Structure 1
């Protein structure tokens, strides 16, 4: 399993509109091959800052399957205009301790 983690900064005053758009766009990502789950967390200290966490079966499910899909084009159309600055996406995997 891969965890996609993205710190998002939404333009000031657009938080409610963003959350509504994200709720709608969630159906896009959740329909993708390899998708496991996602959550959007709102920061308590900084208004307009969010943390998006998405679990994928593999890295390619996100970077190729989702990013090269028509669904991603619609995701971008619905959400990307809210971000300033544009976010950096990072991927993580679990560290197994024995």
Structure 2
């Protein structure tokens, strides 16, 4: 399992509109091969800051399967205009303890 973590900064005053758009776009990502789950967290201290966490079965399910799909083009269309600056996406794997 891979965890995709993205810090998102939404343009000032667009938070409510963003959250509504994200609810709709969630149907896109949740339909993808290898998708496990996702959640969006709103920062308490910083207005407009969000944390998106997405669990994928493999890294390629995200980087190839989703990112190179037609569905991703629709995801971009619905969400990317809200971000400033554009977010950095990082991937994590669980450490066995």
TM-score by length of 1: 0.99
Q: What is the distance in 1 between the residues matched to 2:69 and 2:21? A: 19
Paired with 1:21 and 1:86, the residues of 2 have a C-alpha distance of 17
Shift of 1:36: 0.0
Question: For 1:22 and 1:70, how far apart are their aligned partners in 2?
Answer: 17
What SS does the aligned partner of 1:8 have? strand
Within 2, Cα distance between the matches of 1:30 and 1:43?
A: 23
Following superposition, the deviation at residue 39 of structure 1 comes to 0.1
In 1, the alpha carbon distance for the partners of 2:58 and 2:10 equals 28
Deviation (angstroms), 1:23: 0.2
Q: Which runs of 5+ in 2 are unaligned?
A: none
Q: Give the match for residue 55 of structure 2.
A: 55
Q: How does 1:1-16 map to 2 (within 5 A)?
A: 1-16=1-16
1:9-28 equivalences under 5 Å are 9-28=9-28
**By how many angstroms is 1:30 displaced?**
0.0
Q: TM-score, normalised by structure 2?
A: 1.00
Paired residues, number: 97
Secondary structure, counterpart of 1:4 in structure 2: strand
RMSD of Structure 2 on Structure 1 (CA): 0.2
Q: How does 1:1-98 map to 2 (within 5 A)?
A: 1-97=1-97
Distance 2:70 2:39 in 1: 22
Ranges in structure 1 where 5+ consecutive residues have no aligned partner = none
